[in-house]
Structure 1
């Protein structure tokens, strides 16, 4: 590069560094790695912030940081800052992670999966429909407009944040600086246009579309004769009719289409289901060959069916509208084999007044190794008088946290049900504990659900890292959306926080901590193997109990010094290794977690008692709990020591009182007290009563032996 050009590049980069705008962290070398053919870097542009790069006078594309264009917090509460190169045709050239604080990548899976994930976007144009779905990874046939990319197991939130970050930032740049990506004009439905029509009249007036697909049309898309493909669905359709595909589709938001097709009542229900700015499309089929793939799941995005407009993909997702009802179609409507209503989100840029195209993407197997693909499409436009153009504010997309809550409803429902069972167990703990066998069935049932459903499946393991995030958010300005990104953790933390002030730390530590359950299992295995339990001397025990509070202070304090350091120190918790990653990790972490469990076979819940900083934090707040519901008798401690001896976590004092700072509320002590055949005092009193009765001649003496 000529020296004057190099000086120009340096001056531009210095200006960017001083201004604090686009590419503040990026060197010329990194820009050149994205566009190797560049000869000069242009002046930075604003709204949105990008830097154009050129080869002589030809625009190569734009380089930008996502932090300058988006404000989507990751799981850690901090944004994931990406460097993106977008060429002049709207293709993503290269992506690089500049900065992030996602714990799962920093100290769990490692950063390589994150790098591999964002590299999947390279070579994709921003007019493609991108779906994060590992089941169908790879791009659909040319022209289909859909790209499936692999997600990352155990990092769902981070993956979705990165996906939204890439697409949001790239689309902003494309719409601002590139031709063909402009957002269509805003239109609204005219509510005053309505006239009753039959099905045939709607079809004749262009209010709904009939799309027949003949055998001849299908044959044009495939190299082999249709009869040669091993597809039972297609072969059945070919045998039944010369028109294997017979499809109807219609836009439902307008009263003249929605009311005539669905009926007044169902149309109004649809309008309440749709959110502001969203659209609904009805698609139906007659005959054996439908528009949904056999493995289609309700409420998801279809892979066989798609939509586009102005050459850009339009995301459609099944609304599952007819889950419990069937529509009252006009009397002359056909009998449909398949019928679905699809939702188009507000941020899609869809304009119902413009032509829309329905795409049918077929994938037929020649044999178990080779498949052929073809795409068929049909266009349709509604009459212009159904709409009016208005100047309105752009509808903001649904926040990521809301989408996550909707997607994880099953996990949320399962968690809430479990929490209701735990709450009932605590409210009616004396009634339940009076039945020893039933109590243990309930508690072990809850614990197994905690381990496998809440912990491993739903990833609901609380951590001291969550405390970092809360304190740092409070220090920098609280944003509740950061915590809403993980609905399972949010619901669980909310419940734990409330119950801390009711019953103390034991609700979580004894019932809802997945790693705590693993320790209970380890202790049970040790008992079955008849391993001799190590008894810690009282003074040593009391000293070791204070260790977790010291560790909590060090870990929380380190977060204000360096978040990265705090996250590394948080590896003191084996939760990520044992629960989040299920021991699929490098050997030092696995050995550490297993060692704690092995020690727990000899010292009951060793980690909980002495090392857990999360338990220490919960114990601090648990000091303010309102209730002390673990019943004690006057004889407890004086003279009876049975409960203290049997307390696995050693939280019962010699005087019989309970140390609620350390108690995990396993309720074993009240099981003993509420069962006459277990409580030593009750057994002793019963024996005294029997002897007294025997002395009075009521009971034969031999029955007392």
Structure 2
């Protein structure tokens, strides 16, 4: 209790002291801008119309600076935007970045600010022309010539990092298009659907509607500085070249939305199917290759962004994503077209700002390993431009609205979502059929332990699905300040668990979440099981003290909800009364006071069953209050429960069964152990008594017989 009081007395003050408000005056902002441009030696000048600062060295314009909030409106995991001060030089390279303001809990109260600073410090000296990807395995690759650049992400902060990255790149592209000549973008155009000319394969090639790009291996070897035979054999195919005596790589690619190209190349049926598959504003490009270097590579997976090939327009990379178009059919190309097995169709989303009527370049990234430690990377380009007659220019184009951030995140976590929904479906079925399932008490015990392990390992540690009082505080603040569901949609796992828990409260109360879906609760239950196996003596808490301690979690909840409207940061600091972030989200990789606090709570659980859940947890308190609306008191009871039988009460680890036999649904975690006892004739006293009476009723009657002594005469 002393440790708990220390957390609540010290952390709120620290919260007010550490809240990052960024530059408070224009003078502070100017100083921050100059720090992004070491060469600058005069104050920056602000264009009040655009919100962009011009930065000079004497009279030479050397770059621009801006606040991201002036150009994008991406909300972070906290529900607030992340404002970044960004510097760009005249070539479109980042000169520096500085976080002016953010409210991401993981960086304020979890991992701390250091990982965030390390993340944004990867951008300086990188250009908008680079194709930036995230991969711990490949961090830094691309500097040696590859068009791809890989940055380190931040483990445990995936949602926040996605939002920050999109904030930086989207705002930088918007600014670059406005002020940097090299990134200026022409007005977009739309395809003229009324323009169609029938063409065969040779005509498509001759008109360059289908571009045939040949790359002699000698050119690649010149750029690489080594013979292709010096690289690992599984990366290049030299067999065909050796037979034909002509070593080269050939690519065929084409823009498909124009009928004169798409219909002639794919055929009428597949062209119409493609147009139906594409959403408004989406565009498609077909690519296939043959020869020494396959543009897809062995690691390519359908439906993903290819690493070896990309598109560029006006020095801005255009992301291509495979749509797995020929997943259940074969392409029907015109006669004379090569029969290649790597034809893929890639889509371009509207927010890319792609203009099909303007010149573009297809880029082939060539990365070859000489051994497991040394590799060479280059990229080569092919120009592609289509005639104006295929398009109608828009004089006043509307800016394409990018996909909502949450949609991008949900698409990236479809597998995680499917596994979670399957687990929740199984849990729902189990609760609906509880009496049938608990008939086999030992089998049910192992099924429960298996699901609890799924909750801890998959939902908690892997999928980062530990619900927290912070989630409910966000809901509470949303109700006060205006609810924005997109904030909660940023984390699909948390959103689904919140929705499922809300629905379950209506039917079953708080117990389904607390007893089955809380990873920290699972930790405590496993420790309690270990304590039972080891024979650790449990501490007895007197009934009066128990009743008083039950009120503590409600007082903590009131303190949190009362603080949040005045300082959300302080409330989030005070929410560290929950050990969830330390024990589950960060798996104890945190500063020692937090680790010690979580460890003490777990150790107490060895001596007092689920100590934290019963007496401290503000989330449990909130769910108990909300769970009062539950419609069913559905845990099976007998009239003998409580009078005279007290077995279930004595077995209930959290003391949620009254002497009368009634269940306190505010405290019950619905472990179903009492239902197991009632359904098991070998455990339930009432069932055993009824069975004995039944046996007496069914006992056979013994008829009276007369026994004669001596011999009988026939």
Query: Does TM-score exceed 0.5, indicating one fold?
Result: yes
- Match of 1:166? 168
Structure 2 CA distance for aligned equivalents of residues 342 and 208 of structure 1: 15
SS in 2 for 1:502: helix
SS in 2 for 1:40: coil
- Match of 1:282? 286
- Match of 1:702? none
Does the CA-based 8 Å contact 2:187-2:397 persist in structure 1?
A: no
- Match of 1:205? 207
Structure 1 CA distance for aligned equivalents of residues 131 and 174 of structure 2: 16
1:47/1:442 CA distance change after superposition, 3 Å = farther
Q: Deviations over 1:537-595 (max 9, x none)?
A: 22221111111111111112222222222121111111111111111112222222222
How high is the TM-score relative to the length of structure 1? 0.92
Q: Deviations over 1:490-537 (max 9, x none)?
A: 111111111111111111111111111111111121122222222322
- Match of 2:308? 304
Structure 1 CA distance for aligned equivalents of residues 521 and 616 of structure 2: 12
Give the deviation of 1:660 after TM superposition.
0.4
- Match of 2:182? 180
- Match of 1:246? 250
1:566/1:256 CA distance change after superposition, 3 Å = same
Aligned to 2:451, which of 418, 440, 446? 446
Matched, 1:133 2:132: no
Structure 2 CA distance for aligned equivalents of residues 46 and 192 of structure 1: 45
Does the CA-based 8 Å contact 2:84-2:100 persist in structure 1?
A: yes
Matched, 1:412 2:417: yes
Give the deviation of 1:674 after TM superposition.
1.9
Aligned to 1:607, which of 605, 612, 616? 612
Structure 1 CA distance for aligned equivalents of residues 674 and 367 of structure 2: 64
Does the CA-based 8 Å contact 2:132-2:148 persist in structure 1?
A: yes
How many matched pairs? 679
1:457/1:116 CA distance change after superposition, 3 Å = same
Structure 2 CA distance for aligned equivalents of residues 267 and 437 of structure 1: 59
SS in 1 for 2:156: coil
Structure 1 CA distance for aligned equivalents of residues 27 and 461 of structure 2: 38
Does the CA-based 8 Å contact 1:456-1:582 persist in structure 2?
A: yes
Aligned to 1:354, which of 349, 358, 362? 358
1:214/1:593 CA distance change after superposition, 3 Å = same
Matched, 1:541 2:546: yes
Structure 1 CA distance for aligned equivalents of residues 360 and 328 of structure 2: 29
- Match of 2:388? 384
Structure 2 CA distance for aligned equivalents of residues 497 and 235 of structure 1: 57
SS in 1 for 2:483: coil
Give the deviation of 1:680 after TM superposition.
1.5
Q: Larger deviation: 59-68 or 148-157?
A: 59-68
Unaligned residue ranges in structure 1 (runs of 5+):
1-19, 699-705
Aligned to 1:60, which of 55, 59, 62? 62
- Match of 2:344? 340
- Match of 2:320? 316
Structure 1 CA distance for aligned equivalents of residues 462 and 651 of structure 2: 33
Matched, 1:569 2:574: yes
Aligned to 1:156, which of 155, 158, 183? 158
Give the deviation of 1:639 after TM superposition.
0.6
Aligned to 1:625, which of 605, 608, 630? 630
- Match of 1:99? 101
Map 1:667-686 onto structure 2 (within 5 A). Answer: 667-686=672-691
Aligned to 2:194, which of 192, 195, 199? 192
- Match of 1:555? 560
TM-align CA RMSD: 2.3
Does the CA-based 8 Å contact 1:193-1:255 persist in structure 2?
A: yes
Matched, 1:227 2:232: no
Aligned to 2:656, which of 648, 651, 670? 651
Map 1:15-26 onto structure 2 (within 5 A). Answer: 24=26, 26=28
Q: Deviations over 1:337-379 (max 9, x none)?
A: 3222222121212111222221111122233333222222222
Does the CA-based 8 Å contact 2:642-2:661 persist in structure 1?
A: yes
Structure 2 CA distance for aligned equivalents of residues 392 and 511 of structure 1: 53
Give the deviation of 1:621 after TM superposition.
0.4
Q: Larger deviation: 325-334 or 595-604?
A: 325-334
Give the deviation of 1:95 after TM superposition.
0.8
Q: Larger deviation: 475-484 or 384-393?
A: 384-393
- Match of 1:10? none
Aligned to 1:660, which of 660, 665, 682? 665
Aligned to 2:486, which of 457, 481, 485? 481
Does the CA-based 8 Å contact 1:404-1:486 persist in structure 2?
A: yes
1:695/1:592 CA distance change after superposition, 3 Å = farther
1:178/1:195 CA distance change after superposition, 3 Å = closer
Give the deviation of 1:137 after TM superposition.
1.8
Q: Deviations over 1:606-626 (max 9, x none)?
A: 111111100111111000111
1:296/1:534 CA distance change after superposition, 3 Å = same
SS in 1 for 2:508: coil
Aligned to 1:500, which of 495, 505, 530? 505
- Match of 1:12? none
Does the CA-based 8 Å contact 2:146-2:377 persist in structure 1?
A: no
Does the CA-based 8 Å contact 1:70-1:165 persist in structure 2?
A: yes
- Match of 1:402? 407
- Match of 2:259? 255
Give the deviation of 1:189 after TM superposition.
1.1
